[in-house]
Chains A and B, each alone.
Chain A
Amino acid sequence: MLDTTAADFESLTAAGIAAAVASGRVRASRVVEATLARIRERDPLLNSFTAVTEQRASARAQAIDQARTDGRPLGPLAGVPFAVKNLFDVAGLATRAGAKINRDDPPATRDAALIERLEAAGAILVGALNMGEYAYDFTGENVHDGASHNPHDIERMTGGSSGGCGAAVGGGLVPLALGSDTNGSIRVPSSLCGVFGLKPTYGRLSRARSFPFVASLDHLGPFALTVGDLALAYDAMQGFDAEDPACADRPAEPVVPVLERGIDDLRVAVAGGYFKCNSAEACCAVDRVAAALGANRDIEIPQAERARSAAFIITAAEAASLHLDRLRRRAPDFDPAVRDRLLAGAMVPASVVIKAQKFRRWYRQEVVKLFDEVDAIVAPATPCTAPRLGQTTFMFGGVELPVRANLGLYTQPISFIGLPVVAVPVPLTPLPIGVQIIAAPWREDLVLRIARALEASGIAGPMPRRRD
């Protein structure tokens, strides 16, 4: 029999909780009670939750316990608590998307597609998570809700825009969270908070009933403390959804069965040129990962810097188009740092944006060719470990750069063409930093297999959380 104290649940993974609930060693209701107690106790420091769905979670847990009592089958995530970035629709809540303006919207009437899929697998939603306003952010700071705090040093940033996801998973509040990634918003907080994050191929997971940022670049994906948990959640969420126009009509390709296949047959290279590390931490992390994978060759991702420029332009223009009416009606209610970029984006000539989209096509064609030579590419996830909250610049190769725009300088050229990536955390002292494992479109199986091999070797994994 498991000891059902709150302290004991935190060491459990999603897979561990689901196994314990399925076997009857612990009730889902007890898991939820312990999770809610943990959130009450620790979230005042982390500021990761903007809503806790206590009643809903308790009711759902009771239903799972009843199903087990009745002998009905339980899903692979039975009793696993999870939380979502607050741009996912949650029935009964206004979809805040990190904005003061959206708090005035009517409550959502239906959950986001991915919440429905995780709950169909037995998982239990416990709340919505803090994020940068309208996802236009790499810091995890939010002028309306306050910053989410890094679980390894609460004076530091979580990274963003899915900052609450990094804090809640890294801080041990929930074993699983869902975030979004347009230019790096899953991978940056994964890196700074020391957790695993999966940004799947563009079009793989449904975005239905989530608040958009840049439709042609938006992805959704999971955060977890183990690769096995990422894979469990990912498998539960796969599958075509006609309600997301970008969702690919492909059959689900489960990765859990192949996760332990090893990597002996895989060719891995390290991204050179633009991706060469400029900080000791990023270099150390990439070197450790490369050594563990036997990746002894560099590969040049062509025109990566221009790819980032094109992503930058498309982001500004598409986001401005999305928010144009709100900019007309309620400009003073935006976070100034977001508003000023959106206003600038509204004034970008169409010829510039279309050229960026044409470049995107060219760049995709060239980068996909690289995967004839290699199966996966290793690159840093962030240029540095977590900056201090409020820090506005950091040093990069001897040059002072703004934090907000540049924490994603290694992630933008990759999501720009929708490649699947796992951000693997390397537990350096005193702070973790992530490394991107990148593969060809639709090869989530490869990036997850490699991440699992790194986890098994001890190179990658969450670092012990500070208890202060």
Chain B
Amino acid sequence: MKRVGKRKAAKTAKRAAALKHDAIDDLVAAGAQALGLTLDPAWHAAVKFNLRLILSHAARLDEFPLPDAIEPGPIFHA
């Protein structure tokens, strides 16, 4: 029961964080404008959630030091 309670609290906190206006909101709005994308206001929260998720994956990668000389993965044959 305690665990379920904690999960609910975490979910509520997550939702509250998602609703709070922050830099991701600005990035979504500016990105949509710059790329010529029309964003229905009803979609904004879901786009913001997904962008935040992608950037959290990016933060995990950022913590990992890569050698400067490493090449990107895809192989291009001239």
Residues of A with Cβ closer than 8 Å to B? 216, 245-246, 303, 305-306, 308-310, 312-313, 316, 324, 327-328, 331-332, 336, 339-341, 343-348, 352, 354-362, 364, 398, 400, 405, 417
**Size of chain B's interface in residues, with CB distance under 8 A?**
37
**Which chain B residue has the least Cβ–Cβ distance from A249?**
B77
A343 to B7, CA, bound (A): 29
Contact A356/B61 with A331-B37, A340-B47, A340-B50 known, Cβ cut-off 8 Å = yes
Contact in complex: A305, B60 (CB < 8 Å): yes
A46 to B12, CA, bound (A): 37
How far does the Cβ of B56 sit from chain A's closest Cβ, in whole Å? Answer: 8
Beyond the given A327-B37, A347-B35, A347-B47, please list 16 additional residue pairs across the A-B interface where CB-CB is below 8 A. A303-B64, A306-B64, A324-B35, A328-B36, A340-B47, A343-B37, A343-B43, A345-B54, A347-B51, A355-B58, A355-B66, A357-B72, A357-B74, A359-B73, A361-B72, A362-B67
Contact in complex: A313, B27 (CB < 8 Å): no
Within 8 A of A (CB), among B51-76: 51, 53-55, 57-58, 60-62, 64, 66-67, 70-75
How far does the Cβ of A394 sit from chain B's closest Cβ, in whole Å? Answer: 13
**Which chain B residue has the least Cβ–Cβ distance from A246?**
B75
A293 to B50, CA, bound (A): 41
A343 to B61, CA, bound (A): 21
The list of the 9 closest CB pairs from A to B, nearest first, reads: A360-B73, A347-B31, A344-B50, A357-B72, A309-B57, A340-B46, A344-B51, A352-B58, A216-B74
Contact in complex: B47, A344 (CB < 8 Å): yes
**Which chain A residue has the least Cβ–Cβ distance from B52?**
A344
A396 to B12, CA, bound (A): 20
A306 to B58, CA, bound (A): 9
Contact A347/B27 with A309-B61, A341-B50, A360-B73 known, Cβ cut-off 8 Å = yes
How far does the Cβ of B44 sit from chain A's closest Cβ, in whole Å? Answer: 9
How far does the Cβ of A352 sit from chain B's closest Cβ, in whole Å? Answer: 4
Interface contacts (Cβ under 8 Å), in number, total 112
Contact in complex: B71, A361 (CB < 8 Å): yes
Partner of B32, one of A216, A340, A343, A400: A343
Contact in complex: B51, A355 (CB < 8 Å): no
Partner of A400, one of B7, B49, B55: B7
**Which chain A residue has the least Cβ–Cβ distance from B68?**
A358
Contact with A along B26-45 (1 / 0, CB 8 A): 01100110011111100100
A18 to B43, CA, bound (A): 51
Contact in complex: A357, B32 (CB < 8 Å): no
A245 to B27, CA, bound (A): 34
Contact in complex: B61, A306 (CB < 8 Å): yes
A347 to B25, CA, bound (A): 11
A348 to B60, CA, bound (A): 15
Partner of A348, one of B36, B51, B73, B74: B51
Contact A313/B58 with A358-B71, A358-B73, A361-B72 known, Cβ cut-off 8 Å = yes
Contact in complex: B70, A312 (CB < 8 Å): no
B21 interfacial contact with A, CB 8 Å: no
Contact in complex: A340, B54 (CB < 8 Å): no
**Which chain B residue has the least Cβ–Cβ distance from A315?**
B54
The 18 listed contacts between A and B (C-beta, < 8 Å) are A306-B60, A313-B54, A316-B50, A328-B36, A331-B38, A331-B43, A336-B46, A340-B47, A343-B39, A343-B50, A344-B28, A344-B50, A345-B50, A347-B28, A347-B32, A347-B35, A348-B51, A360-B73
Contact A346/B35 with A306-B60, A336-B43 known, Cβ cut-off 8 Å = yes
**Which chain A residue has the least Cβ–Cβ distance from B11?**
A400
Contact in complex: B3, A359 (CB < 8 Å): no
A358 to B71, CA, bound (A): 6
How far does the Cβ of A68 sit from chain B's closest Cβ, in whole Å? Answer: 43
A331 to B47, CA, bound (A): 13
Contact in complex: A362, B61 (CB < 8 Å): no
Contact in complex: A346, B37 (CB < 8 Å): yes
* Residues in chain B near residue A348, CB distance under 8 A: 51, 54-55, 58
A313 to B64, CA, bound (A): 15
**Which chain B residue has the least Cβ–Cβ distance from A360?**
B73
* Residues in chain A near residue B51, CB distance under 8 A: 344, 347-348
* Residues in chain A near residue B55, CB distance under 8 A: 348, 352
How far does the Cβ of A58 sit from chain B's closest Cβ, in whole Å? Answer: 42
Residue with the highest number of chain B CB atoms closer than 10 Å, among A327, A358, A359, A417: A358
Residue with the highest number of chain B CB atoms closer than 10 Å, among A309, A336, A347, A352: A347
Contact in complex: A358, B28 (CB < 8 Å): no
Contact in complex: B43, A216 (CB < 8 Å): no
Contact in complex: B54, A344 (CB < 8 Å): yes
* Residues in chain A near residue B62, CB distance under 8 A: 355
A313 to B58, CA, bound (A): 7
Residue with the highest number of chain B CB atoms closer than 10 Å, among A306, A340, A354: A340
